[in-house]
Structure formats: structure tokens, C-alpha cells
Structure 1
Amino acid sequence: MKIAMWSGPRNLSSAMMYSFGNRADFAAWDEPFYAAYLKRTGMDHPMREEIIAVHDADAESVAATFAGPVPDGKAHWYMKHMGIHMDQSPLDWAKDCVNVHLIRHPARVIASYAVKRENPTLHDIGFAQQVDIFDRFPGPVIDSADIRRNPESMLRKLCDAIGLDFDPAMLSWQAGKRPYDGVWAAHWYGAVHKSTGFAGAEGDLPALTGAAADLCQSALPHYEKLAALKL
């Protein structure tokens, strides 16, 4: 099984990658199209030049890799993807994957993203792009808030929805880096590197003001479209 897990940034996506990557039967790949996206668009992201230098920045080459065998002789392959990376990148490979869509309320995404990169735009947080991906490659939708509220219940639901046996190894992992982390982990993954499992339930939504509140209102209809379909 090849799982394409679609999300936007700051969406519990790294913890989900660690969850599946902790299974003995899974290989994992962290945002395969990120370097190609940065090279193509010229976007000024943290560690931009290092990302392009270290990772495959040819989108066609990345896509071709998906047609090959699962790495390390594993039975399954978990691919953490960002919808924002796919503009002008090949997508036909996704038809052969189990596509899953991970969502999070935009207020939480915006508050978290702004800590790492100031003044995000609607494009940066990826809600519109994720809906576009879902429309082309529908699949189960799972909300990060539900996972944090009850990880085992939601992961069991997800595994059942995609025809995969649940593995208790998905619920906890050792703290620290992973060999499949992208080089950008040094900037973005501080919290997940300290974690040994999913964080507990989240509190009230953050109070946003000004441009951040306006951005949330722009993103909300996209989130609500997918939230209506969640497991």
C-alpha cells in the first residue's frame, strides 16, 4: 500500500508521519516535492537553498520514484505531501495511491505557522490547494483535533477506512529525529522531535485579529467543506 497523506503546514502532519513511520512494515517519505516547489517558484522559505541542494528538486524525477519499489523492502509506503507543493507538479502518480486528507482548523494553523514564518497568505497555508487535491483524488478525511482527542480511536478508524490493520506502534515513538526527516526539520520540527506520541486535546481556538483573522475567514470555507466529510 502506498499512502499519500495530504495536508497543509502545521497540521499534525509530522506527528502522523512519525506514527506511521514507527510501524515495522512502513517506509516514510517527508514532503517529496518541497525542493522542486521551492526551485520552481522562487519562494523564500527558511533553509531554501539547503533544501534545494540536499533534496531532489526535479518534480518529474520525484514522481517517477513513486512507480518503483517501496524502500527498504517494506510492505507499505507513507508519503507526507503538502497540497501547496503540487502546482505545476505531476499528479498522475496519485491515482495509484490511497489518498488521505488531514485537516486542521485554520485558526490553529495560522497561529502556529506565524510563529515560524511571519504574515502567511492563503496560498501559504494550503487550504484551497487541499480542496483541489481532494476533488481530484478523494479519500478519507481526518481532523487533527479528533486525533489529538483520542489517537487510538481515530487511527483505528483510519486504518479500517483504508483496509490496513491497526498497529499499536502507531501510538508512541522515541523522541528525536528520524532518518526520513527532510533537512527542513531543523527549522520546523522542534516540537515533534521532543514528542513521544500525540499531544493531548487542544483547548479553545486561538483569538486572531487583523490580517490573521481575515485570513482565517478566507480559509474557513475550504476547511468546512472537508470537515463535513471527516471520519
Structure 2
Amino acid sequence: MVNPTKRISLWSGPRNISTTLMYSFGQREDTQVFDEPLYGYYLKNSRAKNYHPGAEETINTMETKGEKVVEMMLTHNKKPVLFFKNMTHHLLPGLDRGFLKELTNIILTRDPAEMLPSYAEVVENPTMEDVGYKMQVGLLEQLQKENVPVIVIDSKAVLLNPKMQLKKICAAIGIPFEPKMLHWKPGVRPEDGSWAKYWYANIHQSTGFNPYTPKTAPFPEKLKPLLEECLPYYEKLVKIAL
């Protein structure tokens, strides 16, 4: 019997529009959204717990065994569509990735020239392990090698034309687009993780997709080496984005 539940996993980098997309999908009556279910597992098993804000609270309030999180993702079925907002760097090497074949995988990327300064406002000295570009390309190549369908989307393209891009995303997933995905009430959502108070101020003030506005501030000198490291990975991803 074919499992009727559509299980969408968004594999994002930080400071993309992943939370915005989670809020967007959260407007659908047929969809349940989940905020970074692997975050507790990632923090407990990486050095990120030493510098991520609210790490102790996150570890203490979430399932930290990756296998149990994966089991939840594959068995939960309260709604016909499940949307898991995940971070690619939460896929630590010790976690068996066989479950990816059971998901509709979407990789969300963003120009590192715009993402890195935003991320550095919260995590002062980010590394490639923190921002996920190399991991995203690695995930893309793994899925392609195993002939697992994968969708790549670029944050800027979504912000430039949310309605058109959401229609493309929904078509690629195999679900109908709903206009209600374009708007929501301001404020918190019950699905927000405990880390929302550190990261979600802008989304909590929004009522929809904010218009794209290019960065005008000079790019921080200290982040330039990381930018040069990230750009080839981003360029590979954006080349095949919807």
C-alpha cells in the first residue's frame, strides 16, 4: 500500500528564508509544519552547543537521538502533508541517511554575500560547518547519485516573486498551490522552536514574504575568506534552482 502522506524536508542553510517558508506552508489546512526537529540532536553531538544561543534549553526540550527524530519524520501522519524545516548541517556524519529516499527533499540556498553578514550578527565567527554550503552540495550530489529526486530553490528568487515561485515549488512537490500560503498573521506560531527569541524577530513582525532588498552595507572584511570558500558551492546550487 502506498503511503499517502507527503513528507517534505526543506534542507536549508541558516539565515535563508526557511522560517518564512515554514510559516507559508503552515497556512495550509492539509499541512503540519515542524521546526528543525534535528536541532537538539545536532547541538548535543557537535561543538555548536558552545556558541549557539539557547543551546542548553534546546537540548533539554528536544529529542536528541537522531534515529528517534528520523522515526518520527517517517511515521507521523496526522496531516496529509508534513513540512519539516531542517538545516543541512544538522545531518551529522553519524546519522544514517537512508531515510532521505522516503522524503520529498528541497535544498534552500542563499547568496553568501547576503547571508554571512546576517548570520554573523548572532554567531560572531562562523565557519563552513556552521553555514552549510558544502554540506548542501554534498547532499545534492548524494541524492543525484542515488537517483533520489531533489528540488533546489534560491531565497532571492522566492522573494522577488513569491506567488510564481510557490506555484513552481508546489508543482515540483506534487501538491496544489494555495493563495493563503502568501500571507499570515504577525506573531509567534506554536511550532516555533525555543530558539525563536534569538532568530525570528523579523518573521514575527511580518504578514507575508518581505520584498527583496539588496544589502547596501560594506561586506565585513573578516568574513571575506569564508565568502570565497562558500561562493563555488552556492554557484553550483543556484545554477539548477527552480
Alignment of 1:68-147 (within 5 A): 68-70=75-77, 73-87=78-92, 88-137=94-143, 138-147=149-158
1:63·1:90 contact (CA, 8 Å) conserved in 2?
Answer: no
RMSD (Å), alpha carbons:
1.3
Contact 1:111 1:206 in 2 (8 A): no
Give the match for residue 56 of structure 1.
63
Which letter does structure 2 place at the counterpart of 1:89?
L
Aligned to 1:198: 209
Unaligned runs of 5+ in 1: none
For 2:171, the equivalent position in structure 1 comes to 160
CA shift in 2, pair 1:204/1:37, >3 Å: closer
Partner in structure 2 of residue 225 of structure 1: 236
- Structure 1 counterpart of 2:8, from 3, 7, 12: 3
Matched residues in 2 for 1:96 and 1:205: separation?
Answer: 42
Q: Is the 8 A contact 2:36 2:85 kept in 1?
A: yes
Q: Distance in 1 between matches of 2:239 and 2:75?
A: 35
- Evaluate the alpha carbon distance shift between residue 156 and residue 206 of structure 1 in structure 2; reply closer, same or farther with a 3 A threshold: farther
Tell me how far 1:69 sits from its aligned partner. Answer: 2.9
Residues 108 and 206, structure 1, Cα contact 8 Å, conserved in 2: no
| 1:38 shift after superposition | 0.7
Cα displacement string for residues 21-41 of structure 1 (whole angstroms, at most 9, x for unaligned residues): 111110011111110111111
Offset of residue 60 of structure 1: 1.0
For structure 2, the residue ranges without an aligned partner over 5 or more in a row are 1-5, 144-148
1:107/1:206 contact within 8 Å kept: no
- Partner Cα separation in structure 2 for residue 209 and residue 67 of structure 1: 42
The answer to whether the Cα contact below 8 Å between 2:114 and 2:215 also exists between their aligned partners in 1 is no
Q: Distance in 1 between matches of 2:172 and 2:75?
A: 25
Calculate percent identity across the aligned residue pairs.
Answer: 39
Give the TM-score of the pair, scaled to structure 2.
Answer: 0.91
Residue in structure 1 matched with residue 27 of structure 2 by the alignment: 22
CA deviation after TM superposition for structure 1 residue 206, in Å: 5.1
CA distance in 2, matches of 1:79, 1:186: 20
Distance (Å, rounded) in 1 between the aligned partners of 2:27 and 2:225: 38
Cα shift at 1:139: 1.1
Partner of 2:3: none
Deviation at 1:89, TM superposition (A): 2.2
Partner amino acid for 1:196?
A: T
CA displacement 1:119-168 (0-9 Å, x = unmatched): 11111111001111112235111111011111001100111112110011
Corresponding pairs, count = 229
Shift of 1:204: 4.7
Q: Is the 8 A contact 2:12 2:109 kept in 1?
A: yes
Q: Which amino acid aligns with 1:216?
A: L
